[in-house]
Structure 1
């Protein structure tokens, strides 16, 4: 009897092993678990699930992309993996990742049905909505943000004002501990750099930078900036950090795979949902304040504009302008506009610690173009090709969204000769584009000169897609690019990253994938030529 049961179990396992038929190629899977047992270790599973939150993944995310690139060599640029019972189509390489959302925008324009977002956002807001709701809210958000200045000169004015506040805060708190939003952030030590580039008192800019970038979004969504030491402000940022921290836990990751089981059970995974509700409560209090002082003739911010639209369509039973969409949309803008920028700046400082030669070249370009007195501005950008190249290389190598935000096909789709059924989840593997050896020679090296042409001018690359592509690309790309340039150039105008350890002894940052470049800087002769022409380097 025992042997008979054992044979039945073996037969069921054997029957559960299946290969892709009629769709994309896929590795063998085990029924119920999919490819989970083939992922080499827990970090891979964690990386897959963390991507659902839009969080930066670091080296763990690169491990899963390493597996995906191995599968690409075996199955091609389009293949399927199964996360538990759920099939996921993975797109690898610059051609596939660009072609799907751009050439077949309608088909690949859906958002994947993720168990965690279904529990938190419940289909409301911009980031995780579908169909006409998504189109309506995205169109409204883009129009409103443009009307509020995120497409005109006032965009730069908002950032410059906040940079000035950050400067005063760093001067005030020089040498103090600035923590408070959670221990998950990586600390970077910088020393104050005077005009003569002398020594200074070390300070940690991590939390002030995070609060500063958050305040730019506050001015757009709430209509005002908040003081860095405001307790409500710090509490709200703490909730955002706690949200990302909870996405890292194994319980929440397990919920993402097996929601039918865990949604009925108590456990640590429920902490994430409690944190999300507290975030909504914070925004709801701000909305209530706006309702009291609302002037329909003079909208002050995103919340005012949304409330006015709610009043205009209050008689329409099918309107998408309601309280739930307002709260979720406001939080979506915060996540998209704050976390990605502050994380990239933090990674940029870590990378520059490792490569001081690049820091020196950027600072020389700043001194030549901007000088020591005024702050850098966006009109300086065309005259600073090396700085622009270094920023692009920081974004490429930091690769904070290696798997991209999961999408879904909105109808039965043919792609690269494969049939993809309606509703299938799709991972556009951004890492495979940013680290494509056909697009970037020796992609694991940090080489800003790859974005310079033979004459030292900045050169764009069609494979540079940190903001994704197509209709689901990040709507805040213009804001993010402006912030990254203005913040980093100001920081390097006034400060220099420093560490008690020599660069050779520093750990690879921001992940184990970062290594020393094969040649010393500037490896590209045009970089040295251009800097000599501008007076940055001796001939």
Structure 2
């Protein structure tokens, strides 16, 4: 144990007696304090007194700097953002060892001043620290999205995918909007028992606004929470999130009340919200708590699923040979007279591998989703990880680890089928998080990706847009917490006249069945 009095305070007092100015004395204290604070922690870049490494972390796409530090210092890197220790995990093995195997102490969250406290009064379960409130939230979502329950949503996913391929057939230029509408409609259907007809609808736009406002680190107060001690009139950072909070409450309350109304009328399909309302007394949730709890898959599912589908389109433009292999498998298993269904899923190993490679090639939750926080001091390979440290599983680096993914720049679905592949990649859960914080909607997300990708590949060729000069930049991605491709033109061409006939017939049948939604 370090004797702070003899090693820090006495030398500083001695410096002061020698007449050295106070500012230099404080600077000396900060330097010594930083050295003491970092002793025994994982290696990392040296920071500055008071601010730590904040000046070295880019405001835009910090994950690439994190990956660079992992290559320089090793799979576990430590930095400080102000006084907060931050641990960056750059390999899957380190993430498995800490976030999975030691999930009992790595399942909490750091403090989210804006996204958690101001924006939602700590009612968004994704950002809750580990404890009773989080367990209550997780229990509700698990009941609605465990593997067997997720299978009951295959019908609406099948119907929505029929709408999707028809939209692509009739208006291919707006492919990105169609992907967003598909993801949004699946999310709102399974959550609220109601569909979305347009990506421009009020529900979708308000959801995306809330997600943008809640990006951790967007506001200065996240780094300097002492700003909350300023007079409320001077807390300029409150204006945007508090205005969004009122819009969130209006939207989520409207959706909850609509479910209750249709429940009383007996006109609502089974959905997460109707299940939660029916068990409200058992779960011990208020109406406002229900409104926020059930909104979690609605909020997270739209952006991640639609963004991953956009990445799939981008990959097909750059790697048409992978598209051809998947189409050959689909033609062999499914034939040319019907669209793929969930019954075909286990018979399409290459298509499933192509989806896994899409998730690896450009992970949309590029920082591994919301960061974890460790609740007690820990040690890993002789390195000290202090209680309260923020922990990022940096998927930007993990998915490009050549030890786990040889030739990481290449788009190679075969890597998931080869006998030499790490057996832990068979299910490929890496993109969905770790430990007790793994994405609760993983089964729903996988199913949506399968039915959308398999049907798009069966019906269409993804080709460069007419008149396009070259292919879109494969590294042009947005800067947000979920990083997706910057919008790019793309051609979607039917594979045959027969394919168009099947898509039309499937859509006609789906329209009738969708009427009850």
Rounded Cα–Cα distance in structure 2 between residues aligned with 1:294 and 1:342: 30
Do residues 499 (structure 1) and 469 (structure 2) align?
Answer: no
Q: Aligned-pair distance for 1:23?
A: 3.9
Tell me what 2:184 maps to: 214
CA spacing shift, 1:219–1:371, aligned 2, 3 Å: same
Cα displacement (A) at 1:244 = 4.1
* CA distance 1:352–1:308, change in 2 (3 Å): same
More helix by share: 2
Structure 2 equivalent of residue 290 of structure 1 = 259
Deviation at 1:359, TM superposition (A): 1.8
Distance in 2 between residues matched to 1:162 and 1:512, nearest whole Å: 27
> Structure 1 CA distance, aligned partners of 2:345 and 2:272?
29
Q: How does 1:188-199 map to 2 (within 5 A)?
A: none
User: Shift of the alpha carbon at 1:423?
Assistant: 2.8
Q: Tell me whether 1:127 sits opposite 2:126 in the alignment.
A: yes
Shift of 1:9: 4.2
Output the CA distance in 2 between the equivalents of 1:359 and 1:431: 24
* Match status 1:36 vs 2:1: no
Stretches of structure 2 that go unaligned for 5 or more consecutive residues are 1-17, 479-517
CA distance in 1, matches of 2:442, 2:294: 17
Superposed displacement of residue 422, structure 1: 3.2
- Is 1:397 the counterpart of 2:348? The answer is no
In structure 2, distance between residues paired with 1:299 and 1:374:
27
1:353 maps onto 2:320 in alignment? no
Which sections of structure 1, spanning at least 5 residues, go unmatched?
47-59, 175-201, 314-318, 514-539
Q: Does 1:434 align with 2:389?
A: no
Other-structure match for 1:167? 165
**In structure 2, do the counterparts of structure 1 residues 257 and 501 end up closer, same or farther at CA, with 3 Å as the change threshold?**
farther
CA distance in 2, matches of 1:383, 1:112: 43
* 1:278 maps to 2:239: no
Matches within 5 A, 1:110-509: 110-116=108-114, 117-129=116-128, 130-146=130-146, 150-152=149-151, 154-171=152-169, 174=171, 202-228=172-198, 234-246=201-213, 252-261=218-227, 264=232, 265=234, 267=236, 270-294=239-263, 300-312=270-282, 319=284, 321-404=285-368, 405-453=370-418, 460=425, 465-500=430-465, 505-509=470-474
Cα deviation, 1:384-443, whole Å, max 9, x if unaligned, reads 222222211111011112322201123333333334343322112233322111111121
Residue aligned with 1:360, SS: helix
Alignment-derived partner of residue 104 in structure 1: 102
Distance 1:11 1:236 in 2: 56
SS at the partner of 1:496? strand
Deviations 1:478-523 (Å, cap 9, x if unpaired)?
111111111011112222222248999324314489xxxxxxxxxx
- Residue 121 of structure 1 aligns to a residue whose secondary structure is coil
Distance (whole Å) between structure 1 residues aligned to residue 275 and residue 203 of structure 2: 22
Query: 1:76-125 deviations in whole A, cap 9, x for unaligned?
Result: 43332112232212223122100112211211111222222222233224
Following the alignment from structure 2 to structure 1, what is the Cα–Cα distance between the partners of residues 133 and 75?
Answer: 32
User: Do 1:36 and 1:45's aligned partners in 2 also have CA atoms closer than 8 Å?
Assistant: no
Contact 2:85 2:386 (C-alpha < 8 Å) held by counterparts = no
1:530 aligned residue: none
The answer to whether the aligner puts 1:45 opposite 2:14 as a matched pair is no
Q: Is the 8 A contact 1:107 1:411 kept in 2?
A: yes
Report the CA distance between 1:66 and its aligned residue: 2.7
TM-score by length of 2: 0.77
> Retained in 2: the 8 A contact 1:255–1:269?
no
CA distance in 2, matches of 1:164, 1:283: 28
Cα deviation for residue 61 of structure 1 reads 4.5
Distance in 1 of aligned mates of 2:477 and 2:206: 29
Counterpart-to-counterpart distance in 2, 1:25 and 1:222: 47
Contact preservation (8 Å) 1:214, 1:338: yes
User: Given that residues 191 and 295 in structure 2 are in contact (C-alpha distance below 8 angstroms), is that contact kept between their aligned partners in structure 1?
Assistant: no
Q: 1:388 to 1:234 in 2, by over 3 A?
A: same
In structure 2, distance between residues paired with 1:127 and 1:493: 36
Q: CA deviation at 1:160?
A: 0.4
Q: Indicate how the Cα distance of structure 1 residues 465 and 246 shifts in structure 2: closer, same or farther if over 3 A, else same.
A: same
> What is the alpha-carbon distance in structure 2 between the residues aligned to residue 329 and residue 281 of structure 1?
15
Query: Residue 505 of structure 1: SS of its match in structure 2?
Result: coil
CA contact (8 A) 2:143 2:149 kept: no
Count of residues in Structure 1 that have an aligned counterpart in Structure 2:
449
The separation in 2 between residues aligned to 1:395 and 1:227, in whole angstroms, is: 27
* Secondary structure at 1:79 match in 2: strand
Q: Which moved more, 1:447-456 or 1:211-220?
A: 447-456
How far apart are the structure 1 equivalents of 2:22 and 2:427?
53
- Cα distance, 1:346–1:276 mapped onto 2, change above 3 Å: farther
In structure 1, C-alpha distance between the alignment counterparts of 2:413 and 2:467, rounded to whole Å: 21
